[in-house]
Structure 1
Amino acid sequence: MRVRRVLALVVVVALTGLLSGAAGGAAPTAEAAVTAAVGLLPARLQEAVTAPAAPAPAAPAVPDAAPAAPVVLQQSRQQVTSVRVAPVDVPGTPCTSIARACVDLSGDQAWLLDDGGITYGPVPITSGRAGFRTPPGTFPVTFHSRDHVSSIYDAPMPYSVFFNGGIAFHQGSLSQLSHGCIHLSRTAAQEFFGSLDRGDLVQVVA
């Protein structure tokens, strides 16, 4: 604050010198007027005015940016399967590596598969009776129902895993044919229920 007042005083004195010089004839230069004005100040104030300005503090060094963390791409089992160029046969089954569950209607057997290999099975099954034959094809799992009851036949269908409309894997009789569903033992039905996810492919072979 004191330095500002000193500088203001120097400017006033310098301007006064310029004006008086102009009135008397030869006007001093602005630099000479300022120098003369500073010379009129006390020694302590001259030092304050003429002292060199303190250098500006250096900007803090910015560390190099940390390397970006690697991006981890998570893919579902269905996405990974979809990029395979060509499915391969799964040894011991009539199905291919795109399937997570395989059903052999003529052999009355079923398996759980993963990455082209058998993870469970074969287990015995029964399928649709005459007039209600289980259609062959490849179908995605659509939903699960732990304690399902058929709204058409008013029959219990525990551990249902639906994959083709109203057709599902579920616990059922292995001595009687179904109305299109795949009957499994209680143990096998629980295994299929816990292993198959929505979107997993079920391959049914005639």
Structure 2
Amino acid sequence: MHAISVRRVRRSLPRAALALVLAALGAALGPGAAPAAAAGHAEECSTEAGPYQKTVERHLKLTVDGVQSAADCAAIRTLQTRHGMEPATGRAGPETWRIVQYERAVADPSALTGCPHGTRLIVCVDLHRQLLWVWDGDHVATGPVPIRTGKSGYATRTGEHRIYERVEKQWSELYEGPMPFSQFFDGGQALHASYRNIWEEPGSHGCVNLRYDDAKRLWQGLRLNDPVYVWGTRGP
């Protein structure tokens, strides 16, 4: 068994399940004794401008002034909700910055730079923008898709690697968590699916986390010895 890098599966209940538990508890306690967090309670819309306010305003074609307004918050929340970010507070933080990078890359393939390509299939892992895609010659075969890489102290190692082992139903004994569609490329670090929300912090223990369907698609398209190129430093 490899010393596999993966963060524990999300420890909290999904919001919908938590709401049902709270509602049941309130019914059991009787009138007037229900927990304060009611089922379906919406997050408050942030009145604070995030550190990437102007970047997000520019992307959403809002007035670029770096000042959070009710309209800004509503538009940013719509962006966050569209990509399944939780909580969707409307604040332009690091996770929202990564959503913007993802949308830009999807909209403009010329933005897929930094990875050598032209004559072969290669998996590209952009640490700064937290993106992955696959070149097949000059054709983008897969992606771009959002990823989550190593947090501080557990960096995803840069350079060109090769997929040396593939395990469809892997379990990490080190971090006690599932790693579906694991494709190992360097010293126990792997491309694999994560059951955590892809925008959720902190990062991984070095692996490249993907959404389940993205990891499955990658599993179906790659083979042993395919190259994986990792570059840059993890962005905000």
- TM bucket, shorter chain: 0.5 to 0.7
The CA deviation at 1:151 is 2.0
Equivalent in 115, 118, 128 of residue 140 of structure 2: 118
**Counterpart in the other structure of 1:94:** 114
Please tell me whether the aligned partners of residues 159 and 171 of structure 1 are also in contact (alpha carbons under 8 angstroms): yes
Please say if 1:170 is aligned against 2:192: yes
The alignment's TM-score, normalised by the length of structure 1, stands at 0.54
**Counterpart in the other structure of 1:41:** none
* Residues in 1 aligned to 2:135 and 2:184: alpha-carbon distance in whole angstroms: 17
**Counterpart in the other structure of 1:180:** 206
**Counterpart in the other structure of 1:136:** 158
Per-residue CA shift, 1:40-83, capped at 9, x if unaligned? xxxxxxxxxxxxxxxxxxxxxxxxxxxxxxxxxxxxxxxxxxxx
Which letter maps to 2:171? V
* Residues in 2 aligned to 1:139 and 1:189: alpha-carbon distance in whole angstroms: 18
The CA deviation at 1:126 is 0.4
SS at match of 1:120: strand
The CA deviation at 1:93 is 2.8
**Counterpart in the other structure of 1:194:** 220
Please tell me whether the aligned partners of residues 100 and 196 of structure 1 are also in contact (alpha carbons under 8 angstroms): no
Report runs of 4+ in structure 1 exceeding 3 Å deviation. Answer: none
SS at match of 2:148: coil
RMSD over aligned Cα atoms: 1.5
- Structure 2 unaligned spans of 5+: 1-108
Please tell me whether the aligned partners of residues 102 and 204 of structure 1 are also in contact (alpha carbons under 8 angstroms): yes
Aligned-pair identity in percent equals 33
Per-residue CA shift, 1:173-193, capped at 9, x if unaligned? 311310000010011000111
Please say if 1:157 is aligned against 2:183: no
Which letter maps to 1:129? K
**Counterpart in the other structure of 1:20:** none
Please tell me whether the aligned partners of residues 142 and 218 of structure 2 are also in contact (alpha carbons under 8 angstroms): no
Q: Which has the larger radius of gyration?
A: 1
- Structure 1 unaligned spans of 5+: 1-89
* Residues in 2 aligned to 1:110 and 1:116: alpha-carbon distance in whole angstroms: 16
The alignment's TM-score, normalised by the length of structure 2, stands at 0.47
Alignment size in residue pairs: 117
- The aligned runs of 1:16-35 (5 Å cut-off) are none
The CA deviation at 1:99 is 5.1
